[in-house]
Structure formats: C-alpha cells, structure tokens
Structure 1
Amino acid sequence: MKLYDLELSGNCYKVRLFAHLANLELEIISVDFLGGEHKRAPLIDLNPWGELPILVDGQQVLRDSQAILLYLAGTYGGAAWWPVEPQRQAEIMQWLSTAANEIQNGPCAARLIDKFGYRIDKSDALARAERILPLLEAHLAKHDWLALSRPTIADCAVFPYVALAPEGGIDLEPYPHIVHWIDRIKQLPGFVPMPGI
C-alpha cells in the first residue's frame, strides 16, 4: 500500500497513526506540497480534488482521511477497529463526521491560519473550536475513549487536530479530560508522533 503524504498534515497523520497502531505496512511517499505536486499528474489523476492524503492499495485508490481510515480498519484492522454491528459502526461514524466538520473547521482551521498563513476567518475558527472542545471535554469526562470504550478509528480521526490545537492559538489547559485522552493515545502500543505532537 502506498500513502501519498505530507508530514505536517494532520489528515495524513491520521492514516500514518492508525497504520502504526494496527501494525499495517505503508509505503510513505512524500509529496512536494509547496511545489504543487498534488495538483499535477500523476497525483491529480489519482485524486481530482487535488488534496492529500491519497491511499493506493492495488487497484483501490482513495482520497479523504476519514474514508481511508474506514477502508484500512474494515479491510485490515479487524473488529477491534471496525465492528460488524451497524449500531457500533454508527457510534464510530459520528466521530469521523465530527473530525471532518467541527474539528476541521475549528481547531484545524485556526492552525492553518497561525502556522501556514491561510486567509480564512480566525474568529469563526475560534468560535467553532469553543463550541466543539467543551462537547468533547464533556464526553471524555465520562468515557476514556470516543467510542466503544476502547481505541478505535474515531480516536485516530479526532486526535491530530485537537492535539495540534495550540499551534492555532487554542489553549487546551481548560480541558483536562481532553489532555488526559491525548496522553492515553500517546501511550498506546505502536503510537507514532508527528511534528507538534
């Protein structure tokens, strides 16, 4: 399997993190993002959205980190990472949606502004973060993990941009349960860091 990757991308890191936790071998192919390699052939042919990550597994080509997590967990991770029961799958899926929506448009967007100079609305990103982080804190006050009382791809999806929130000027000190959850993830066998984490 090949992962077309950007080291500083939290979305790419989600896939690398899960692969390490699940003992999956990935060939990591670094992409010259600043040089626009992802916007030219052959990568634009693999993902017309012109985004990373891209996973190639034989004839299967996937874009979007949440979809890749689901594919890897369902194909190679076993029931520990992706259960067969629809109710349990839905418990995980709601967190994948949170990662793609509230986390992406909150803590992730704030980081894009502060760390990479993106021209997006910082006040909107902070307002979204101020809404989702207390909800996440309340959930983690009652649960060690996001879903199914164990580590799943839900944690892999939400973790990166929450852990990187300080790079967007968001203080995690008011959220002790989130901080403890971050520490629990870092203690998992196979955990691998990224710059900033």
Structure 2
Amino acid sequence: MNKNEMVSPENALPGGRTPVLAMPFFHRVTGDRLDRSFPHSETIYLAMGCFWGAEKLFWNTEGVLQTAVGYMGGFTPNPTYREVCTGRTGHAETVRVTYDPKHVPTTEILTLFLENHDPTQGMRQGNDVGTQYRSAIWCTTSEQFMTATTLKGSYQANLLTAGYGEMTTTISMSHGIEFYLAEAEHQQYLEDNPFGYCPVHATGVCLALTH
C-alpha cells in the first residue's frame, strides 16, 4: 500500500475494542488528569506532523490549559501507534489543545500551528512520510472554523510570495470525528525524553508580512 494515499474505509484496519490509554492518566507536565474538564475553555485538534514536538510547542504556550496526543481523521477505532504507522488506519497524528481564550486567543493558537510546520507538503513533513503526517485542523466551534479559514487564506498568500506552493491543510468541524488518545509512552514524550526525535519543519514564513 502507498502510505501517501488515504486508505478507504473498507480497507482500513479493524482496530481494537478498548482504548490504548487507560484512565486515569496524568499529564506529565501539568499533573492534571487527561480527562479533566476546564470551565470556560475551548478545545481544538491540530495535526502538523510528528505529534511529540507539536505537543511540547503547545504545552509551553501561556494560556494553554492541557495538551494530549492521539489519532484522528481516520476509520480504525482505538488504533495503536504501530497500526497508524502502516498507513492503513487513515488517522493523522494529532494534538488536542485545550486553552483559555481569554488568555490566548484562537488566532494565536492557529498562528503557532501554521508557522511551526510546512503546510504545503501534503502527506508528509520532511522525512516523515505518510498520511499520518498530514496537516489538518479539526474545530469544535464555528468561530474557530471561521478563524482558521481566514488565517489559512492570509498565510497562503504569504507562502506563495515566499515561493511555496498550495497549502494542503484541511479544515473541518470535529463533530462526529473521534479523537483516540495515543499510548502512555507518547503522551508528553519530550518531557520524559528531552533529547528525543523532534524535527522542526517550519518554513520561516510568518502569518502576516508585518508579523
């Protein structure tokens, strides 16, 4: 199978009956349970290549209340990391970002997302090749969706000016799309493995030319 092509639902792996991460599990940086709810918060799901470094980017952002890594956008229920790596689940490596919009606006969250990977590479980020590394945004509110769509248009213009091609980032609502938490060893991976694999694929192009 070509890992650069999305698997069809009928050819996707069957998956498991139970989640691969048992609760309770506590965030290695904040100490909070990953299933904790935060009043007056918003959540957005971001796929931008390898989720280890992406998660660290957001847990270090002021106003972000919690992060977690998992799999999203595919067809296989309760997938394992090994299954996702085959390209036969359809899932992308994804970071769940829960934030306080009064302290960090959605615009800032999405600016970090856009500026810290190359959203023009399709089914890859650098040497990481496959559908699991695609660029995607899953929104939980209509306001997030509108903001993401507007920023994508602005960033596309800046990328073209800098000599890059068309963005391949997809923007969708998360309703009806399951986010499956990844295994314990992948949660806050770089906190336990500070010298672990963490490639940076940023283009160096800013969202605004005056940014």
The verdict on a shared fold, with TM-score over 0.5 as the criterion, is: no
What range is the shorter-chain TM-score in? Answer: 0.3 to 0.5
TM-score, scaled relative to structure 2: 0.33
Select the structure with the greater relative contact order (CA < 8 A; seq sep ≥ 6). 2
